[in-house]
Every structure is written in C-alpha cells, then in structure tokens.
Structure 1
Amino acid sequence: MTINFNALKQAEMFALLAMVFLLMIGYQERQSEIVNKPEVTPTPTPTPTPTPSQEEPPIILIPSKDLSFQLARAFPKQGPDYLRSYIKNKIVPQIEQQLQNYDVDMIEVIGHTDGSPINGLGNLDQNLLNNLARANSKTIDFHTLVTRFKKLEAGSNADLGLIRALIVVKSLQDLQINGECNCNVKAFRAYSAAQLYLPGKWTKPAPSNQKHNPKRRRIEVRLTKWNPH
C-alpha cells in the first residue's frame, strides 16, 4: 500500500487552517458581545437620614449680661426692640439647630429673678389672661403686644419671672408668624422659677436672702417633648 505523504500534509494544513479560522470567529463573537453589552449603571448608595437624638438637649441661656433686667421691670433696659432682635439673632439659630438634632417639639421658657422683694400690688390675677387672649391674635404687631405687656404689674418675684418668660415666648411666636423663625413646635410654655435657683444650680435652692443681684435675673429656654396628657 502506497502512502501519499503529500496528501496527508495537505490535510493537516487544511485542518490547522480550519481550527485557526474557527478560533478567530469565536474571538470576534466574544469581542462583539463585550462591545454590545449594555453598560450597567451602579445604584448609588442612599445617604442615611440622621436620626434625632433621644437625649435631652442643653438649656439655652439668656444671661443677665446680654439682657439687663432692671429691678422689678419686665423688659430689659435695652428695650423691647433690642429684645426681639437679640432673640432673632442669638436664640432662634440655637432653637432651630436643636429641633433638627433632637427629638423635641415643645419650647419651654423659664424666668428667674433675684431675691429682692417687690413692693406694691400686682394685677396679674385681674389682667393676665385678658391680655394674653388679645396678644394671641395673629394680626397683632409686636409693638402693640409690648404695650399690652407693659400694663401688667408684678406683685411678686413669681409674677415677674412669669411676665419675663411670657415676653420671650410672645417674641418667638411673633418671629414665627413673620417667617423669621422656623420654630414649628406643638406648644410654647412659659414658667416662673422666681428667686428659687441660682444660675446653673437647678438642684440646689438659692439661699434665703433678699439681696439685689442682677446676675440672677435671667431667662432659660428649654426644648423638650410635648405630652398632651
């Protein structure tokens, strides 16, 4: 039997060329798939929403050096306009920051006095609620509100602390009505601590003296959680 080596070599070459051809076709198909494959846009990671702190926020202090309350006077000696401007520029930014960072929705304002006795008769029992009802109108301007509060006479340090706290509350509400305070809370509350506590010492009552001490005449603003019950 005669073997045709030339025919075998030709067959091998043909098989080799066919294999190379098939490999090239496969490579081109893979490249086409890669080129035509739709680009997948990565899903952005959402920014987590900050969770308001459940802790109690720090008390916002209006010290006597900023608002100088004179003896037995409801308004500071700088005047009502200065009081409103001070609250807008110094107190409102702190309130707005705390409303963002803490789980709170009520503003409490506490008025403190010194131990100097107040001589004279007060008229809060007769006039407080009537004046407040008129001051609660959203159409009343700030200066009319001030005029109404000037008619209130304190008969004790408890009265005086309450009037001062109410003036701050009404100033905040007036700023809110006029779009100058983003203080969207469920309630405002005004309280009087009278002469009971020294500055920074809520847990320890003040000594029983009647000394004139302007440093004790201060306002504290506290944000807390509203409880309707």
Structure 2
Amino acid sequence: MRYSINPKFLALEKRLLTIISNFDNQGEVLVKGQRNSIKLFTEENLVINIKSFKKPNLVNKFVYRFFRKSKAQRSYEFALELLKKGIGTPNPIGYFENRSLFTLQDSYYACEHLKYDLTYRELVETDYPDADNILRQFTQFTYMMHQKGVEFLDHSPGNTLIQNKGNGKYEFFLVDLNRMKFHESIDFKTRMKNLSKITPHKEMVAVMSNEYAKLSGESEQLVFNTMWQLTEDFQYRFYRKKRIKKKLKFWKK
C-alpha cells in the first residue's frame, strides 16, 4: 500500500491502515453509490469519513499507476491547497492506494467528518427558509474562490456543505474534490461556466447574478445573460445524455 497522512493525524497511522484493510467489512455506511462509497469510523472523539473510489477500468489502472495521480491523491492534495487559500473543506487526513507492480487496484480518501445543516441541493429542491440570504452568501463564497484562482470543476448542488452559524450567517465547505484547477486568474466566462451546474431555476440564477455583479463590478445584465445561457446549455447536454442512455438501455433489452 502507498499512502500519505496529514502530519496532524500521524498518531492514527496504524488505526487508519487497519481501517483501510477492513473497509469492506467495517464502518457505518454513509453513501453506497454505484461508483463510490463512503463510510464513517469513530476513533475516540474523532469521526473519520473515508471515501472508497470505484475500481478503475483496465486502462486507468495502468494510467493511475504510472502517469496520473489517483482521485484519492488529488482529493487529499487539493484539500490541503484549499485550506491554504482559506477555502472551506473538511480537514484532510490522508489518502491510501493499493497497488500492484503495474496497476492501481483501489484508492481511498480520508477526512474529518463534518456536521452540516444542508447542501446547496436543498435550496434547489425545497422551499428552504432564508434561501435568498444563503444564495447570496454562497455567491460571495464562490466569488472569493474565483478571486483566489480556484476552479472547482464539480461545483454542483451536492458538493457544497452548508453550516448555519446563527444570526443569518453561513459557512460553506467543498467536498468531492478530485476535479479542480488552480489559476493565477480566472476569466469571466470560465467563472460563469463554473456556476452553470448549480441550479436549473432561473430565479435562483437571477439572485446569484445580482450578487456576483455587485462583487465583481460587472454589468448585472451581462452576468445574468451569460450565466443563464451557460446554465441552459448545460441542462440541454445533461438531459440529452440521459435520453441517449435511456435509449441504449432500451435497445440492450
């Protein structure tokens, strides 16, 4: 096994290795997805959140072994970079890879489990209290991220955890970190595209556009028109892909 552990958590090294070795048989299941799974493990006062990534296909097993960092390694390193930049994410603990001589077999990312009150998805799917205020603070968080050169490629509804700090204040934390780019600066269209996966609702885009325009100094109409067009483009591609998959499943039958 190849691994790296955050120096702050080195005292847990043996325990972490035991957890990874017994991942399939122990722990509390938090997410059981088709591709990835997440389990929780309690160690004294610490709850450890471990994501097991789907085993790569034959080609990627070789690619991740020699030419590209695994999703687990990228998640860990990107988390450390986000924290350096003052951007919220659960405290990274480490990453772990089971390797053979020529392939990557499987990989795991461990972080401190973060308690949260909602994700952005609740704003999209429900009539959530204080939604306008949360939307504006989320936009401020995203603008700050863009100003620091961070392009979060999976900036989608389920990947931002939100804590209610009281008195109308909220904090935001990014998860699912393995797809991310860091720039010296980010151009306007890339910024708008980065917000195109967040919501299909025009009224929410209008609120975010209003707030982003205030922060950036750009024309509100330009921000809205660009963000909404990119949102519509994304939604079209998303549902077209779903239709194609549905047709393929039908013909396979």
TM-score of the two chains, using structure 1 as the length reference: 0.22
Question: More relative contact order in 1 or in 2 (CA 8 Å, sep 6+)?
Answer: 1
TM-score of the two chains, using structure 2 as the length reference: 0.21
Q: Which has the higher strand share?
A: 2
